[in-house]
Amino acid sequence: MTSILQKLKQFLNSHDNDQKNLKNKLDMMDAKIMHIEDIMSSYREILLRLVKQGNGITKFLSNDDPFTETKVELIDSDSNDTDIDKKVLYESIAQELKERVEKLSELEEELEKYKDQITPGQMGES
């Protein structure tokens, strides 16, 4: 093993052109590695932004989900006005459902309007 290292050292010392060529190649490799590291760090930043954006979207959707915010009021069975109370309760639930359906249909119309401009995987500031 030492004889190989000695021969390599002797070869590198005896040939100046090969030594310069080798140094140039090593410098070029170092520059390429640095470029790859820069690209990796920028990809990491992009991934972090995407994760934050995805978390924001899921938080928004979970807050606006019509199925998670169901309000149920118990009606007292002892009351004489139970039929009137039930009717008011059902009307308020129906009205709330109607409003949510209208909001969702507006959202669908907006998405349909801009669906040609939405590209999966496209990044941009909003």
Could you report how far apart the first and last alpha carbons of the chain are, in Å? 62
Summarised one tens digit per residue, pLDDT across range 80-101 is 556 677 788 888 888 888 888 8
Domain ranges for the chain: 1-64, 67-126
pTM reported for the whole predicted model = 0.34
Which of 102, 97, 21, 32 has its CA nearest to residue 66?
A: 97
Contact 76, 82 (CB under 8 A): yes
Reading the block at residue 1, the tokens are: 């093993």
- Axis crossing angle, helix 2-14 with helix 16-64, rounded to the nearest 10: 110
Is the pLDDT at 75 greater than 70? The verdict is: no
Give the residue with greater pLDDT, 116 vs 82.
116
Whole-number Å distance between alpha carbons of 75 and 88: 11
